[in-house]
């Protein structure tokens, strides 16, 4: 609008405009970023709050690398690292199943001090806590001796400081903050493709999409050419019927089509996802519009040479109609790849071999799903191809969407 304007005010307007556009773009892109980030997280990381966009994994250390006291840790396993709030050094969890005693100082019974079960000496005295007799222990805390009673015995972890091997602490593992580092888990994709049967769903979707798209292109080219160039009785009313059919929502056809598939025995079969969708009134319309726009003289010359309609169509018209075919192919691809309602109705026996991606995704990502990382890996597998196709073929999308709005 105000392209030609100059001056500081126009510059500010432009900056504000770009800021608005960018913020909308952020709103659009952000969920995809979240999806991608989540798809590379591990199964603990997905439940962390606040949510982050960076996949993290526990930081570990090889037990042979650092001088550690000889503890009964399995020397082959990497040791996870933790941080204590009162210390700058990192601690390795050398044993996550040691007996821990919880002491409560008598002068401050709400405070909990966790020590190794062997520490502390009985003073011989007792104290009454909540009506029960408890022995009093003398324990050492930060260099001073404190009187406390033992409130509970539990199991926790034994931590050793990396800088000072004598600094050995005992604490409940879930109380200490685990150290984390950047660690994408790309095995999610492998797991979802193989263990969750997404690979099979993916190939089914590929098969269905290829069959539907090629079928639609073939029938639409033939039908579109007939409507565009061949005069025959009833072609006008038939074409109107085709146009009208675009207005009928698919929900009206669901039940009778389901009955039809039931009767011919195609329930739970990929045929039911392919064969009814190889015919497209929309595609026929699209091809007809394109063929009509091709000058008739091109064809007349060939007709005079006694070429058959069939030859003319494939030798002359179809090569010219490449843009329209590409548009049809991209739209057909999107439709077939993303369709969900019809597969949901038809592939209903829970047999994973007949599933397409959208169906597998909705089953895996159901309401009670806990493998969010796997679900999102599956979602990426399902969403990436249409997005990529769109990015490469967007010329055909955008032009056609535009022309449908103008008619």
Partner 1 sequence: MAADAADKADAGVDRPDAPDTALGRKLKLLSLWHLVGAAVSVMGILLARRSGDIELPWMPRYALQGFFSFAFVAHMASAYGVGARTRWARPLSLAVNYLLTLVAASATLHLFNAYQALGDFGEGLYKAFLPFVVICVGLLWVLLSGQMLAHRPTAVGPLRLRQAGWGLAGIASVWFVVKADPSGLISSIGETLTRPLALGAIALTFCAALATRLMWSRAAAKHFGSTRRVDEALSGLAFLSPNLLGFFIFFAFPLLFSLWVSFFDWDTTNTTRDFIGLENYIRALSLDFANSAQSNAGTEVLKSDYQVLANLDWFGQHWVVGARDVEFWLSLKNITVFLVLAVPLAVLPALVLSSVLASKLPGMKVFRTIYFVPSVAGVIGVSIVWGQMFDATIGWINYILDLLGISEAGQGRGWLTQPDTALLSMVIVFAWMSFGFNTVLYLAGHQAISKELYEAAEIDGANTWQIFRRITVPQLRNTTFYVVITTSILALQLFDIVWILARPIAGGPNFATQTPVLTLYQEAFTNNRQGYASALAWVLFVIIFSFTLFQFRRQRSEVSAGGVS
List the interface residues with partner 1, window 169-208 (CB under 8 A): 199-200, 202-204, 206-207
Helix, coil or strand: residue 173: helix
List 169's β-bridge partners, or say none: 159
CA distance 292 to 299: 12
- Length of the chain measured in residues: 407
Based on the shown chain and the rule CB under 8 A, indicate whether residue 94 belongs to the binding site for partner 1: no
Closer residue to partner 1 in complex, CB, 104/355 = 355
Please count the residues of this chain forming the interface with partner 1, following the rule CB under 8 A: 122
Is residue 134 within 8 A of residue 149, CB to CB? The reply is: yes
Which region among 27-35, 63-71, 75-83, 131-139 touches partner 1 (by CB under 8 A)? 27-35
Instruction: For 106-131, give one letter per residue: b (16+ CB within 10 A) or e.
Output: beeeeeebbbeeeebeeeeeeeeeee
Residues 30-49 that bind partner 1 (CB under 8 A): 30-32, 34-35, 38, 46-49
Closer residue to partner 1 in complex, CB, 186/255 = 255
List 83's β-bridge partners, or say none: 90, 177
Q: Which of 17, 43, 155, 181 binds partner 1 (CB under 8 A)?
A: 17
Which region among 124-132, 139-147, 184-192, 385-393 touches partner 1 (by CB under 8 A)? 385-393
Which region among 13-21, 82-90, 152-160, 161-169 touches partner 1 (by CB under 8 A)? 13-21
Is residue 92 within 8 A of residue 120, CB to CB? The reply is: no
Q: Which of 96, 151, 271, 289 binds partner 1 (CB under 8 A)?
A: 271
Taking CB atoms within 8 Å and a gap of at least 24, the contacts of 77-86 are: 80/178, 80/179, 81/162, 81/178, 81/179, 82/159, 82/176, 82/177, 82/178, 82/179, 83/176, 83/177, 83/179, 84/159, 84/169, 84/171, 84/176, 85/177
Which region among 54-62, 125-133, 145-153, 361-369 touches partner 1 (by CB under 8 A)? 361-369
Closer residue to partner 1 in complex, CB, 119/235 = 235
Tell me 179's DSSP state. Answer: P
Which region among 58-66, 114-122, 125-133, 382-390 touches partner 1 (by CB under 8 A)? 382-390
Q: Which of 159, 282, 376, 396 binds partner 1 (CB under 8 A)?
A: 376
Closer residue to partner 1 in complex, CB, 149/376 = 376
Query: Is the previous residue joined to 50 through a cis bond, with omega within 30 degrees of 0?
Result: yes
Q: Which of 135, 187, 300, 353 binds partner 1 (CB under 8 A)?
A: 353
Residues 309-348 that bind partner 1 (CB under 8 A): 309-311, 313, 334, 337-338, 340-341, 344-345, 348
Is residue 105 within 8 A of residue 113, CB to CB? The reply is: yes
Helix, coil or strand: residue 15: helix
Single out the residue of 389, 386, 373 nearest to residue 189, CA to CA.
373
Closer residue to partner 1 in complex, CB, 27/132 = 27
CB atoms within 10 A of CB 336: 22
CB atoms within 10 A of CB 61: 17
Closer residue to partner 1 in complex, CB, 105/199 = 199
Q: Which of 12, 19, 21, 153 binds partner 1 (CB under 8 A)?
A: 21
Q: Which of 91, 103, 149, 225 binds partner 1 (CB under 8 A)?
A: 225
Closer residue to partner 1 in complex, CB, 132/406 = 406
Helix, coil or strand: residue 227: helix
Which region among 59-67, 134-142, 176-184, 258-266 touches partner 1 (by CB under 8 A)? 258-266
List the x/- string, 61-90, binding to partner 1 by CB under 8 A.
------------------------------
Cα separations (Å) of 73 from 63, 94, 98, 389? 9, 6, 11, 52
Q: Which of 146, 148, 226, 317 binds partner 1 (CB under 8 A)?
A: 226
């Amino acid at each position: 609008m105000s392209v030609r304007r100059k001056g500081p005010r126009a510059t500010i307007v432009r900056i504000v405009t770009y800021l608005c556009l960018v913020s909308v773009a952020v709103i659009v892109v952000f969920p995809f970023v979240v999806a991608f980030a989540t798809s590379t997280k591990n199964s603990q990381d997905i439940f962390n709050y606040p949510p982050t966009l960076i996949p993290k994994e526990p930081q570990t250390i090889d037990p042979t690398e650092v001088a550690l006291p000889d503890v009964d840790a399995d020397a082959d396993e990497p040791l996870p690292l933790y941080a204590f709030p009162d210390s700058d050094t990192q601690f390795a969890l050398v044993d996550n199943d040691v007996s821990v005693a919880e002491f409560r100082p008598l002068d401050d019974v709400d405070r909990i001090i966790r020590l190794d079960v062997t520490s502390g000496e009985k003073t011989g005295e007792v104290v009454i806590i909540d009506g029960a007799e408890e022995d009093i222990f003398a324990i050492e805390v930060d260099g001073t001796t404190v009187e406390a009673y033992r409130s509970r015995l539990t199991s926790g972890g034994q931590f050793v400081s990396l800088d000072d091997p004598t600094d050995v602490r005992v604490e409940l593992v879930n109380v200490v903050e685990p150290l984390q580092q950047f660690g994408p888990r790309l095995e999610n994709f492998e797991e979802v493709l193989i263990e969750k049967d997404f690979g099979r769903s993916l190939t089914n979707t590929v098969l269905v999409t290829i069959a539907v798209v090629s079928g639609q292109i073939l029938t639409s080219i033939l039908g579109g050419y007939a409507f565009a160039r061949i005069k025959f009785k009833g072609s006008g009313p038939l074409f109107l019927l085709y146009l009208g059919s675009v207005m009928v929502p698919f929900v009206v056809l669901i039940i009778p089509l389901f009955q039809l598939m039931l009767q011919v025995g195609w329930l739970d079969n990929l045929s039911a996802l392919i064969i009814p969708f190889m015919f497209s009134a929309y595609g026929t319309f699209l091809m007809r519009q394109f063929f009509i726009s091709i000058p008739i003289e091109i064809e007349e010359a060939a007709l005079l040479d006694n070429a058959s309609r069939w030859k003319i169509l494939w030798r002359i018209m179809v090569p010219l109609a490449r843009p329209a075919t590409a548009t049809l192919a991209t739209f057909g691809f999107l439709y077939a790849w993303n369709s969900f309602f019809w597969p949901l109705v038809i592939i209903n026996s829970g047999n994973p071999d007949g599933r397409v991606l959208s169906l597998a995704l909705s089953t895996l990502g159901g309401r009670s799903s806990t493998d969010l990382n796997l679900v999102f890996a599956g979602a990426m597998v399902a969403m990436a191809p249409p997005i990529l196709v769109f990015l490469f073929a967007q010329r055909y999308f955008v032009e056609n969407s535009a022309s449908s709005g103008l008619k």
